Chains A and B, each alone.
Chain A
Amino acid sequence: MSDKTIKLKIKRQDNPRSKPYWQEFEIPYQPLSNVISCLQDIQKSPSAANKVTVNPVVWDCSCLEEVCGSCTMIINGRVRQACTALVDQIESPIVLEPMSKFPVVRDLLVDRNRMFRALKKVKAWVDIDGSQDLGEGPIMADSVRATRYTLSECMTCGCCLEACPQYTKDNAFLGAAAFSQVRLFNLHPTGDMHADERLDEVMGKGGIADCGNAQACVEACPKNIPLTDSIADISRQTSLKLLKDLLLK
């Protein structure tokens, strides 16, 4: 065994109202480690680098294979999932912070409810007649399916919003994830029947017009979702709708 260790510097916060503080940790190096396994090691032996016993670090995780979207945090200054942050591929000491655009619940755990509320607002669903057997779904070209699939891989992880300069804790901006979902559902033959209702929701305050076109979202997306294409597409759809509404008034 080598004496190699992994050093971590973690921004902690005991509850939503208390002040954040930094703590340093040092754990034995093991091959195949990722940020999650480091946090698990701290749980098993919760003491800071100065040997003082502390409460284990609290964070959010579930699948550990980058499909659930839970474990988003800021790692060495960059927002990403902790599960795919392999110790061998990142710089030491590893600096962990909670996302800054969402209220901290505790330590690295944040409350991303605003993202789910946005999905509700933009009516991100296909309106079906019910779960009774109504036969096959609509015929669809595989190319359309492929575009939809890419958009549908969004795991509501929040990376795009953390990176977005327009998205702040105290404004109403819906953000790239929600706009991209509007595109996803408007691309579906049945979803398209209610396309206007979704567009209405992104044409008001905090809607698509507030996007500053910084293009940081697409850089941050761990699933390589073409978010800027989605924003451009939804801008087009809303402009057309605006024109249509004006002419038909």
Chain B
Amino acid sequence: MAQRRKKIIIIGGGLAGLSAAMKICESNAEVILIAYQSLKRSHSVCAQGGINAAIDSRGEGDSPDNHFYDTIKGGDFLAEQPLVRDMCYKAPSIIHLMDRMGVAFNRTNEGHLAFRRFGGTLYSRTAFAGATTGQQLVYSLDEQIRKYEHDGMVQKMEWHEYLGAVLDSKGICRGAIIHNLRTNEIFTLAGDAVILATGGPSQVYAGSTASTVNTGAAATMAYLQGAKYANGEFIQIHPTAIPGRDKLRLMSESARGEGGRIWVPKRADDNRDPLDIPEMERYYFLEEKYPLFGNLVPRDVASREIYDVVYNQNLGIGGQAMVYLDLTHKSKEFLQDRLGGILDIYKKFTGDDPKVTPMKIFPAVHYSMGGLWTDYETDSEGMIESKSPRNQMTSIQGLYAAGEADCHYHGANRLGANSLLSCIYTGLMMGPGVLSYAENIAKSADDVPSSIFEDAKSYWTGRFKTINKMHGSENPYKLHRDLGDMMMANVLIVRDNKTLEKAYNSISDFETRFKDVNCVDSNDWANPTPSFINQLYCMIQLSKIITKGALMRDEFRGAHFKPEFDLNQPKDFDPHEYIHYQEQQNFGEVSDDAFPKSHLDYMKRFEANNKKWLKTSIAQFEGNQPNITYADVNTSLMIPRPRKYD
């Protein structure tokens, strides 16, 4: 009898899930793709500016090693180096693959791929498809999956929600519990492995650039089932978003990549039309403080500076929490060609034309560097072992994670245009490993007692019955907003322990209020409310991971800014000094006069801080709280050193 085909369940129809599905289909395995909505609607479509790959088409001397260095430095050395190196090395072939699939990447005069600059690098490394690169990448992968669906290789289940993993008595993942969002039926699916490509958790915050579906519930459910959740406290705040009520819409970093300048009037009470304010009376604070990188400093730096200008220097436009992002010095033709899509969006939502008047923007929650902890394996050369079943596996055997739901690729701060790359990279990279896992497990889902599936189904059926019967006084949508407001007020750009502690304690109030929720929709068909209530429960748990992680991490690293623990880098410090200092240490003693005293003191502080805090934080669910421990980061390829962008 022929062996049955391996069956892989993929949750999520964004870039990571679609890439994994494509790779796995090529190996003739059976793929079931579960998506909360129609496939073309996933949050990956919101990515605007581009995708990084060091192809060096402009002859600037860029290389995958430079990309690796910028990514690690941008992430303040918290990213897992062997994985990031592999990602940067594979990036050029990923772009070429996407190009072959028909992505409408902008091109040069000669018809090659065009690249532009993005934050945190001095090279033109970002390939782009107009101003909707994420959308274009999703579509091309979706098209490949449609072909596989046409060929009978993929079974799509859209409008279905993942509720949890089916675990056997040994804690091995044997399938998934699925909720049909139309009929409200709950059922289980058996599979050889389950992949969570379920995106980020930004809906935990009220002011974010996230899609409505980005609740982080699937990853949180894995955490509640015992999986490790890593670096949850590292939340990226994007410096430039458009104010709004239902969401804060992103204004892409590409606006600055194409020459956009950030400024405020020098005088707080200057209420003139921005175009009437002469050059001399404008404060281009990023350009002044960071002459080398200017407006293209990494996102954590830019957001902090905007925050400082608005709240500490009180220079926000008209006293409000806003600064100008100005493109009016560029020609209208240039702007339409390079940035048309995003500028149209700004105009649609504000009524102002950015080609004529400077945009008003402010930072917004954008991305989670942290996520489910995943494993990997290196070969004797330190390169990623491409077929290892450990690659991208969570701490639950047989349960995998990829894309924004994982944790190793961006450290303490993600560089712009690296998220599309890490989503596609992880999806493709994990494929062979997932299959080798499926082929080599001693027992498959067919061999475990059917009772584990029945038990899982009956638990979740019961849970939803209970939710449906909740008739308290709290509106779940209002409670979500309040939770999001609390997180915005306390766990954002500038963090301090007193506030964080208060915030952490306040989460138990949300838990109490949650018990009093009213399931406000009584329809038994296509009813989103019970599912949302379950997601809200997950978001409360997630807010604990983020807040407790932030409270415990007593340092300033990347997006996690605690002024109290700023190591105060001397203004004239050069990061190379630290490399010399390390070398001298390796050869014995560091002489007292080798470095200026203030520099030496700083380097000692930096070294001591890294010894204690250059660690991945790992949250595990114990007694309704996250228990946080710290694990070493693999920094074997590049010595962690102080960051500097001026």
Residues of chain A at the chain B interface (Cβ within 8 Å): 14-15, 30-34, 36-37, 40, 43-46, 55-56, 58, 60-70, 83-84, 86, 89, 105-106, 109, 112, 116, 119-120, 123-128, 130-131, 133-142, 145, 148-149, 152-153, 155-156, 185, 188, 190-191
Contact = CB atoms under 8 A, between A and B. Distances in A.
A142 B245 contact: no
16 contacts: A34-B246, A40-B477, A55-B520, A64-B249, A67-B46, A70-B41, A124-B146, A125-B147, A128-B100, A131-B428, A141-B111, A142-B111, A149-B106, A153-B130, A155-B40, A155-B45
Contacts of B146: 116, 119-120, 124-125
Contacts of B111: 139-142
B100 A14 contact: no
A69 B45 CA distance: 10
A86 B529 CA distance: 26
B240 interface: no
Given A63-B46, A64-B249, A67-B46, 13 more contacts: A37-B245, A45-B478, A46-B520, A64-B246, A68-B40, A86-B351, A120-B146, A124-B143, A128-B97, A130-B26, A134-B96, A135-B96, A148-B104
Given A140-B107, A155-B40, A14 B525 contact: yes
A81 to B, nearest CB: 10
A145 B107 contact: yes
Interface stretch (B131-139, B393-401, B617-625, B628-636): B131-139
A64 B41 CA distance: 11
B41 A142 contact: no
B472 to A, nearest CB: 14
A38 B221 CA distance: 31
Contacts of A137: 96, 99-100
Given A135-B96, A140-B111, A63 B45 contact: yes
Contacts of B475: 43-46
Contact of B526 (A109, A123, A125): A109
Contact of A34 (B135, B139, B147, B245): B245
A140 to B, nearest CB: 5
Contact of A67 (B37, B135, B245): B135
Interface of B: 22-23, 26, 37-43, 45-46, 93, 96-97, 99-102, 104-112, 114, 129-130, 132, 135-136, 139-140, 143-144, 146-147, 149-150, 182, 211-213, 243-247, 249-250, 341, 345, 348-349, 351, 428, 475, 477-478, 481, 520-523, 525-529
B249 A65 contact: yes
A91 to B, nearest CB: 17
A146 to B, nearest CB: 8
A4 to B, nearest CB: 15
B107 A56 contact: no
Contact of B112 (A89, A126, A139, A155): A139
B37 A62 contact: yes
Nearest to A61: B212
Q: Which 6 A-B pairs have the closest CB atoms?
A: A137-B99, A125-B143, A149-B104, A139-B111, A126-B102, A106-B526
A37 B244 CA distance: 9
B425 to A, nearest CB: 12
A179 B29 CA distance: 32
Contacts of B245: 30-34, 37
A202 B246 CA distance: 40
Contacts of B110: 139
Contact of B40 (A58, A69, A123, A131): A69
A155 B99 CA distance: 20
B102 A106 contact: no
A81 B131 CA distance: 19
Given A40-B477, A62-B213, A190-B102, A127 B147 contact: yes
Contacts of A153: 130, 132, 135, 341
Contacts of A33: 245
A47 B113 CA distance: 54
Contacts of B45: 63, 67-68, 155
Contacts of B349: 34, 65, 84, 86
A134 to B, nearest CB: 7
Contacts of A44: 475, 477-478, 481
Contact of B102 (A58, A70, A185): A185
B128 to A, nearest CB: 10
Contacts of B212: 61-62, 64
Contacts of B130: 149, 153
Given A61-B212, A62-B213, A152 B136 contact: yes
B139 A105 contact: no
A165 to B, nearest CB: 25
A131 B23 contact: yes
A131 B520 contact: no
B135 A64 contact: no
A136 B106 contact: no
